[in-house]
Every structure is written in structure tokens, then in C-alpha cells.
């Protein structure tokens, strides 16, 4: 674990750059992390991010299948929003731990 300053806030991050404490997150941090992955966040991105945060707070295991059924975006759309890392990148931007699911 290390401390990193993102969007002028000191946050604890894992070796791979995932926030360790999701309560330290804010939208500016999200934008900053997204920029590193070359993603420009839109409202749709934030809908997905907020959905993931809500599910994480409820201690549910996240899968892209769930996101696809959430009514926010289908799986194809999710890949468009977060290319090459539909769950990995979205989780990183959402300030939640690295996903542990294989689906």
C-alpha cells in the first residue's frame, strides 16, 4: 500500500493503483484516474461507476453480466465505455477494489 496524490487529494492506493478506501473517492479523482487510462468520462460512465460503487457497498460480487443486466448499459456498450477492461478499468475509476470475479 502506498499514498498517492490524485486530483490534489492524498489517497491510499494498492500496488496496481486501485483505491484502498472507497470513501476517499470523489469525481475529480475518477476523472484523473480515467485520464491515465485514456478514457474521458461522460454521464454514462458515471452511471456505471455509481452502480459499481453501490453494489460494492452492498458487498456484492461484481460481474460484467450484472452490469449488462442493470439496465444502464449492455455488455457491448460497457466494452465501448471501458475498452479492454470493462470491469477492471471501471472499478479502478470507481475507486473500488480490483474485481475478483472471472465473469
* Catalytic (active-site) positions: 102
Q: What is the CA radius of gyration of the chain?
A: 13
Query: Binding to another protein by residue 64, rule CB under 8 A?
Result: yes
> What's the number of CA atoms in the CB half-sphere (13 Å) around residue 77?
12
Options 86, 91, 92, 95; binder of another protein; rule CB under 8 A: 86
Determine contact, residues 75/86, Cβ cutoff 8 Å.
Answer: yes
Options 1, 3, 58, 102; binder of another protein; rule CB under 8 A: 102
The grid coordinates of residue 40 equal 474521458
* Contacting residues toward another protein, per CB under 8 A: 61, 63-66, 68, 74-76, 79, 83-88, 101-103
Amino acid at each position: 500500500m502506498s499514498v498517492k496524490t490524485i486530483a490534489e487529494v492524498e489517497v491510499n492506493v494498492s500496488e496496481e493503483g486501485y483505491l484502498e478506501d472507497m470513501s476517499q473517492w470523489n469525481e475529480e479523482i475518477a476523472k484523473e484516474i480515467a485520464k491515465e487510462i485514456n478514457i474521458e468520462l461522460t454521464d454514462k460512465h458515471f452511471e456505471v461507476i455509481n452502480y459499481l460503487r453501490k453494489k460494492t457497498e452492498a458487498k456484492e460480487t461484481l460481474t460484467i453480466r450484472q452490469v449488462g443486466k442493470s439496465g444502464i448499459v449492455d455488455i457491448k456498450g460497457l466494452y465501448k465505455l471501458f475498452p479492454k477492461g470493462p470491469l477492471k478499468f471501471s472499478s479502478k475509476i470507481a475507486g473500488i477494489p480490483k474485481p475478483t470475479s472471472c465473469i
